């Protein structure tokens, strides 16, 4: 099973698999057009069923979530309802590491930070 690997790039690179090869589990967010792509089974698939919300409060207020992804802008978390919202991934771009910054760590099973490609 491929690991979830979120990255930020531009649309032209996301659409050019010679420039940015398909990599199983790669999740691409384009900074210029705000489109989202996912690499699965040797293909790059554009995700189009994403609902943007401004806050976590808006997400929590949804009584009957649709079978879609929900992106919460203020937290940078992409959610998908899985019988009670447990499926999530942090997809915002991580701030650059500096010498005075604490080292980053944590689980990669449900949360990841995006990197630029």
Q: What is the rounded (10 degree) CA torsion for 27, 30, 36, 39?
A: -40
Give me the number of domains the chain comprises. Answer: 1
Average pLDDT score over residue span 68-86: 79
Domain for residue 60, yes or no?
yes
The tokens of 21 are what? 């090869």
Among candidates 58, 56, 36, 31, which has minimal Cα distance to 46?
36
Q: Is the pLDDT of residue 28 over 70?
A: yes
**pLDDT at 98 (0 to 100):** 41
Domain for residue 80, yes or no?
yes
Average pLDDT score over residue span 88-111: 44
Tell me the pLDDT band of 79, cut-offs 50, 70 and 90. Answer: confident
**pLDDT at 37 (0 to 100):** 92
Domain for residue 89, yes or no?
yes
Its pTM stands at: 0.57
Query: What is the domain range of residue 53?
Result: 5-95+109-116
Burial of residue 100 (number of CB atoms within 10 Å: 0-12, 13-18, 19+)? exposed
Mean pLDDT of the chain: 76
Domain for residue 66, yes or no?
yes
**pLDDT at 55 (0 to 100):** 92
Contact 3, 25 (CB under 8 A): yes
DSSP, residue by residue, 49-106:
-EEEES-HHHHHT-SS--SSEEEETTTTEEEE-SSSS-EEEE-SBPPPP-TTSPPP--
Q: Is the pLDDT of residue 107 over 70?
A: no
Q: Is the pLDDT of residue 58 over 80?
A: yes
More confidently predicted of 13 and 74: 13
Domain for residue 103, yes or no?
no
**pLDDT at 111 (0 to 100):** 42
Domain for residue 74, yes or no?
yes
Domain for residue 104, yes or no?
no
H or E element in which residue 12 lies: helix 11-15
Domain for residue 81, yes or no?
yes
């Amino acid at each position: 099973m491929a690991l979830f690997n979120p990255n930020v790039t531009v649309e032209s690179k996301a659409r050019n698999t010679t420039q940015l090869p398909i990599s199983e589990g790669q999740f691409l967010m384009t900074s210029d057009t705000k489109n989202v792509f996912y690499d699965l089974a040797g293909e790059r698939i554009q995700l189009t069923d994403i609902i943007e919300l401004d806050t976590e409060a808006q997400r929590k207020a949804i009584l009957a979530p649709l079978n879609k992804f929900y992106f919460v802008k203020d937290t940078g978390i992409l959610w998908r309802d899985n019988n009670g919202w447990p499926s999530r991934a942090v997809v915002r771009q991580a701030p650059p590491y500096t010498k005075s910054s604490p080292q980053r760590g944590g689980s990669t099973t449900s949360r990841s930070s995006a990197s630029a490609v």
